[in-house]
Every structure is written in C-alpha cells, then in structure tokens.
Structure 1
Amino acid sequence: MTTTDLITQYLDIWNERDPAARLKLMEEVFTEDVFYADPDNAGLRGHAALSEAIGQARDKLGDLRFALDTVIGTHHDRALFTWRLDRVATGYDVVEFDADRISSIVGFFA
C-alpha cells in the first residue's frame, strides 16, 4: 500500500457516518494508540476517542466530504498533505507512520 493509499483511507474514515464501519476502518488504518490533534481537538488518543470526535464532526458537516488534495512531501515515516472539504474548507495534516499504519495525525485548518 502506498502512502497516498493510506492517506486516502484516513480521509475515508472522516467520511464514514456509521460508527461501527468507522471503527472497522480505523483498525485497518491506525495503530491502536493513534494520536490526533487539530485546532478543535487537543491530544485525542485511541480509536474510540477519535471516532467520537469524528462522529460529532460528521453530525455538523452533514453530507460534506473530505478529499485528498495534494501530498506535499514525505520523509522519515511522515507525510504532509492538503485536504479539502468539498468547497467549504481546506487544511493541512501531518501524519506519522508506524510500519503500514498511521500512528499520529496533527491537523491544521487553512
């Protein structure tokens, strides 16, 4: 699986409205103790905490969907990429990998 594939699967998690399906995807994409932070969420840890935050965001976002914009660069088990939320918002995320899973995500809103 490529870095781009893994990032796309990460964004698929943000687009998943069903909590059970979202947790299943998380098990495939994230390490068990995944770390997540963005301007709205400071230091979430683990699938359950991140799934809850995504569920709350999904309730507010309705049918809007996240999509990968550009993988800006990768090095040393890290990647920087931009995403877009339909035509409403954009942002940057830095992800860190542990083997073939994401272990850390730090997001920024543009």
Structure 2
Amino acid sequence: MTTVLDRYFEIVDSADSSHSGLDDLREIFAENVLLMHSGEMVQGRELAVDFYRAQAAKCKESKHHWTASEEADGSITGKWSQAGLDLRGNACSGSGRVAVSLDADGRISRLHLSLTGGSDHARVLIAKHLEVWMIPDPVERAKAMEEIYTENITFMEPDDVFVGRDAINDYIGVVQRKAPPLYGRLVSHFQNREFIHWAWDFGFPGNKSALGSETLQLNGNLIEKVIIFTGDMDIVVEGTR
C-alpha cells in the first residue's frame, strides 16, 4: 500500500532542472504544514515548497531510500537515506529518521526528518545542534544534549553567557515558551579543523527576521562552545529577558 510518505519521496526525487515537479508537494502538504528537515524548520505550504526548491538547487542528482510503518493513530514513522552528487560532482549522502502526522484530509500536517549521519560531518553536527532546540520535553532534550554537547558547554550570545547543559536546557525552555521562531534556515557552513562556522536566517512573528552566524568549537564529536554573531539579537531574544 502506497502511503503519503511514499508519495512525498517520489515527488522530491522526481525534481528536474526546472524543479517544476516539486509543485506536486502542494497536493500532499496541509496549508499550515510544519516542516522540520535536518535541523532547519519552516511552517506553511508555500514556504515548504520553496524550501525544497532550494534543496534541489544544491544537487546535481539525488535519490532517497526509505522504510516506514503506519501507526495505529495514522501517523507514519521510519528511516530514510539519501545519496547523490553535489553541484561539483562530488558524492554526498545523508540518513536519519522520519516522522509524519496527517490532518483530517490525509495531508501531511507535520513532517520531521532528522539527520543523524552523512558524508558532510559538519552538517550532521549542525543538524543535531539545532534539533536540540526543537525538542519540547526538557527530559528528552537533556538526553539529546548529551549526544551533541560537552557537559560544560559554553553558549555565548552577544549579551549573555550560559555554561553547562542544565543552564542551556533551561534557557531553551524559555525561548520555546516566549520567542519561538516561525522558521529557521541554514544559509551556509564551513569547517576548519575543530571549528565550524555557519550562517543562519530566522523568522519571528510580526514579519521580523534575523540574520547571523555561529562558530561551533568541537571537542571530538561534541560541541564545547557556541559563539553567536548577529546584529539582530534584540529580535532573537525578544520577550525572553
């Protein structure tokens, strides 16, 4: 039996150079669909379609493989992997978990693809870092933080510094309650030895947006320091102080 998740991957894999095939995503996405993909997040059908156009523009070719099962409540969970060529012709890959929730009309209302492995190690670490900030339950969040942050991680905003997983966990809870973003997109990323620098674009209620970047300092496969650079910090932390 073909599921809406099967149809989703078929549409994404059918994208040609014009990306016109991605318009078919409108048929399976709910109007206010929440898309969380490899740490990035957008809400709304049109933003989701635009997101996939941007993703397709980064690859010469790409193909997905997936396994999934339908739960008693109609939701779908499974695993996915992707392999292809980037714009320079280099092989690239990624893999992770997928979870889908449907609305009353059988359209996707929530699509969550986590990135847990892949050829771009820096991108995987950024995804795990961002995923932590999306987890609503503090206990589950604490467990995820152990897999990506050192115990005494330092999180440096322009005006505040938080030290330790517990302090950051508490701060994430405040952000989620008072200043959650409407979208979060990765613009670019680079790695130099134990440092990763990546640029971001976040949107907030009231048509407010913020641009900035972060430097992540690694200790092995864990992040031990996050340094934020932005001139829009007042927008990012609005309502949390």
Question: TM-score by structure 2 length?
Answer: 0.42
Q: Once superposed, what is the RMSD of the aligned Cα atoms?
A: 1.8
Largest Rg, 1 or 2:
2
Q: CA deviation at 1:27?
A: 0.4
Kept in 2: contact 1:32–1:46 (CA 8 A): yes
- Corresponding position of 1:106: 227
Kept in 2: contact 1:96–1:103 (CA 8 A): yes
Q: CA deviation at 1:40?
A: 4.2
Q: Give unmatched runs, 5+ long, in structure 1.
A: none
Residue 37 of structure 1 pairs with residue 159 of structure 2: no
Kept in 1: contact 2:181–2:202 (CA 8 A): no
How many residues are treated as equivalent by the alignment? 108
Give the whole-Å Cα distance in 2 for the aligned partners of 1:95 and 1:105. Answer: 5
- Corresponding position of 2:175: 57
Q: CA deviation at 1:65?
A: 4.4
Deviations 1:60-95 (A, max 9, x none): 224634342210x21120011012224632220000
Kept in 1: contact 2:181–2:203 (CA 8 A): no
Kept in 2: contact 1:15–1:65 (CA 8 A): no
Give the whole-Å Cα distance in 2 for the aligned partners of 1:104 and 1:62. Answer: 22
SS at match of 2:214: strand
Give the whole-Å Cα distance in 1 for the aligned partners of 2:221 and 2:177. Answer: 30
- Corresponding position of 1:83: 200
SS at match of 1:39: coil
Kept in 1: contact 2:214–2:228 (CA 8 A): yes
Indicate the structure whose relative CO is greater, using CA pairs within 8 Å and at least 6 residues apart. Answer: 1
Give the whole-Å Cα distance in 2 for the aligned partners of 1:15 and 1:85. Answer: 14
Greater fraction of residues in helix: 1
Give the whole-Å Cα distance in 2 for the aligned partners of 1:51 and 1:76. Answer: 27
Give the whole-Å Cα distance in 2 for the aligned partners of 1:66 and 1:84. Answer: 6
Q: CA deviation at 1:41?
A: 2.1
Q: Comparing 44-53 with 84-93, which one deviates more in the overlay?
A: 84-93
Give the whole-Å Cα distance in 2 for the aligned partners of 1:59 and 1:80. Answer: 28
Give the whole-Å Cα distance in 1 for the aligned partners of 2:143 and 2:168. Answer: 13
Identity of aligned residues (%): 25
SS at match of 2:170: helix
Residue 69 of structure 1 pairs with residue 187 of structure 2: yes
Give the whole-Å Cα distance in 1 for the aligned partners of 2:160 and 2:211. Answer: 17
Give the whole-Å Cα distance in 2 for the aligned partners of 1:109 and 1:57. Answer: 17
Kept in 2: contact 1:8–1:67 (CA 8 A): no
Q: Tell me the amino acid that sits aligned with residue 147 of structure 2.
A: E
Q: Give unmatched runs, 5+ long, in structure 2.
A: 1-116, 232-241
Q: Tell me the amino acid that sits aligned with residue 75 of structure 1.
A: N
Aligned in 2, Cα 1:5/1:20: closer, same or farther, shift over 3 Å? Answer: same
- Corresponding position of 2:141: 22
- Corresponding position of 1:9: 128
SS at match of 2:133: helix
